[in-house]
Structures are given as structure tokens and as C-alpha cells.
Amino acid sequence: MATYSTNEFKGGLKIMIDGDPCSIIENEFVKPGKGQAFNRVKIRNLKTGRVIERTYKSGESVEGADVMDTNMQYLYTDGEFWHFMDPVSFEQHAADETAVGDAKKWLKEQDMCEVTLWNGSPLAITPPNFVMLTVAETDPGVRGDTSSGGGKPATLETGAVVRVPLFIDVGEVLKIDTRTGEYVGRAKD
């Protein structure tokens, strides 16, 4: 694997720290005029999601992490693993619960997702920013009520629970923003 000098540090660079793949969030060059230069970096551990700070002597080299973001189609889950397929090579990858994390409540079969691979294995799953999901369960809709405010919980086909307006009924397809977990609107077809 490639190594990177601190001179190549920038946001988004993937490096290995204490055996874990990490992504640089912020890189700050600090140096007393007549003294040692350092690179003070803020880093996200891609396995745990934790953000940590590290300092390097400027000019030091760090091992790169073989981390790649790829677009894959979500196929199905067998309860233990979530299976994804590269639409070009048809290669399949199985992600465990740790890798899938919170994404699992937004995963709908055949949707395209971003799969982060580390040394060829799924490390993290990022769902599409917007997903279309059918309402599986909610209190009966209140017709004519289009006022903002209020609202009620609705359980979607994937098991996710989101807050929706009162007029929404079972069977309707909703557009959800997965980054905030919020209802955006009814799917227009």
C-alpha cells in the first residue's frame, strides 16, 4: 500500500492509524518560526466512526488505507449479513451488522448504495440521500388536514419509523431524507 507524506495530507485522504482505516477531516500545519513543524490532523476512524486528533512531525510518512467507495446494489439480507452486488462486475459482497449500522433501516432491495470497501471487504454502508419507501403501518389518514405541525409516527416497509403528516395512509410511497431521517413528501409518480 502507498504511504503518504504529511505534505500530501488533505481532507478525505484515507490513512491507517493504530491498525484502523481512518479518513482525514481536517489538516492543520503548525510551526513556530524557529522550530519544529507539525501537522495536527482531525481524523475519523472509519470502523468506529469516532473522531480523534493526531499530530505528526511534518515530513513523516503514514501508511495509506486501501479504502474505496463503490456504488453497489443492495440485494437482500439473510438476517446475519446484508448482501450487495457490484453492477459492473456482478461481484457480491456481504456486510455484517457493524458495517451496515444505521443504514439498515433505509435499505430497500435493488436500491443503489455507497459501499465503502477496506481491503476488499465492506466497512461501511451509506444509503442514498433520498429513498422511496411504502408506509406499512400508521393511524388512519385525516383527509383535508394539510396543516403543518402535528403529525404522527409511521412505520415504513423497512421497519424505519418516521414522523409524517396526519393525511398519510398505509400503502402510500414516501420520499425520506436518510441523512436526517425526515419525511420530505409523497412520491410523485
Binding site for other proteins (CB under 8 A): 7, 28-38, 40, 53-60
CA–CA separation, 49 and 55 (whole Å): 19
C-beta of 6 vs 116, nearer to other proteins? 6
User: What stretches of the chain adopt beta strand conformation (E)?
Assistant: 3-5, 14-17, 20-30, 38-45, 51-57, 61-63, 67-77, 82-85, 92-95, 112-118, 121-126, 130-138, 152-156, 161-164, 173-177, 182-186
C-beta of 33 vs 171, nearer to other proteins? 33
> CB of 39: closest distance to other proteins in angstroms?
9
> CB of 2: closest distance to other proteins in angstroms?
19
CB 187 within 8 A of CB 174: yes
> CB of 53: closest distance to other proteins in angstroms?
8
DSSP state of 99: H
Radius of gyration for the alpha carbons in the chain, expressed in angstroms and rounded: 22
DSSP state of 149: S
C-beta of 29 vs 76, nearer to other proteins? 29
> CB of 66: closest distance to other proteins in angstroms?
21
C-beta of 33 vs 185, nearer to other proteins? 33
C-beta of 7 vs 121, nearer to other proteins? 7
Q: How far is CA 17 from the centre of its chain?
A: 21
> CB of 40: closest distance to other proteins in angstroms?
7
CA–CA separation, 9 and 29 (whole Å): 10
Q: Residue 28 is which amino acid?
A: E
C-beta of 57 vs 179, nearer to other proteins? 57
> CB of 32: closest distance to other proteins in angstroms?
5
Among 110, 118, 120, CA closest to 72: 110
